[in-house]
Structure 1
Amino acid sequence: MQKFFILWGSLLALIIGGCSTKHYRVSEPKIITLKTPKIKFSDTGYIRHEGESVEVELFTAGVAVEKISIDALVCVTAGCMSEEAFVKEYLYPDYPRDTMRRIVLGQDIFGGRGKEEMCDGRLFQFIRNDEMDIIYRRGKGEIYFKDRLNSLIIKIEDFKENNATE
């Protein structure tokens, strides 16, 4: 009888706590392009966030194909890992651990190094050394990150439906 209560108690705890879905304050459709060592993707998706918690859900032909959740851990279809491990495995080992989170949120990377503001309000960061050649641009409905030396591209654009009356 005691095993019965332990089993049901564990199941109830899992249902109530472990399987709860995170609710994000902001959920926006985007056109997302990712070219990293582990992900090659270009189609529609959703960027969801609440504070520093971020979720990128990728769709192909209307079907969800990948989800990247960044919170205390980074979770992808293959499993969960620390932000540092994610950046080393999915981006480049010498990037700061919060690089992916900051790019998706459109925040400064590398502590704002090489940051310039253009007259149209867009922000640019240029980071160049022997191991990376990064251009990072934000504004006007677009986030664009490219590291030419390491063949990385992350591009996030506002989703605009074509309107026949325009």
Structure 2
Amino acid sequence: MIFSLFIFTGCFNTTQPQLNSSSATILIKTPQMKFYDKGFIYKYKEFTQVQIFSAGTAILDMKIYNDRICRTTFKCQDLKTFNKENLSSSYPDNFLKELFEKEQKEVIHRDKQNDILIKIIRD
């Protein structure tokens, strides 16, 4: 009996519940990253998840926590390191998380000096 209970409970998803989600067209263009397609932004209590899809395949799956960013293509990085390697070391640590958590229909961040364009258009 206990064994069967373990099997059934082991299959349940333990991911925390979403606070909200939205679909969007997302453009991330930096010297190191280039993504542009439809995607989803999920807000959870502990992190914000950004997924971009192309032809039904996730080309970006990124979880943005208060102290690190995790992508499926690399190990988690602290925010300073991520900003330095992918955006600009001059950006505040929480820049990306705050950008994706904005509730506006259209969010545009253009930084010509660092050749960065991030555009989020919510459906």
Using the size of structure 2 for normalisation, the TM-score is 0.80
Matched, 1:27 2:21: yes
CA displacement at 1:37 relative to structure 2: 2.5
Q: CA RMSD in A?
A: 2.2
Structure 2's unaligned 5+ residue stretches are 1-5
Matched, 1:55 2:55: no
CA displacement at 1:23 relative to structure 2: 3.2
Describe the SS at the equivalent of 1:89. helix
Q: Distance in 2 between matches of 1:61 and 1:22?
A: 28
Contact 2:16 2:44 in 1 (8 A): no
Matched, 1:158 2:115: no
CA displacement at 1:52 relative to structure 2: 5.9
Describe the SS at the equivalent of 2:93. coil
Matched, 1:76 2:97: no
Count residues with an aligned counterpart. 112
Moved more, 75-84 or 144-153: 75-84
1:1-166 matches, cutoff 5 A: 20-51=14-45, 53-71=47-65, 72-77=67-72, 78-106=74-102, 139=104, 141-159=105-123
Using the size of structure 1 for normalisation, the TM-score is 0.61
Describe the SS at the equivalent of 1:37. coil
Partner of 1:135: none
Larger % of strand: which?
2
Q: Comparing both chains, which one has the higher relative contact order based on Cα–Cα distances under 8 Å and sequence gaps of 6 or more?
A: 2
Task: Give 4+ residue runs of structure 1 displaced > 6 Å after superposition.
Answer: none
What per-residue deviation string (whole Å, max 9, x for no partner) do you get for residues 128-161 of structure 1? xxxxxxxxxx84x1000000111100000012xx
- Higher Cα Rg, which structure: 1
Which amino acid in structure 2 is aligned with residue 35 of structure 1? K
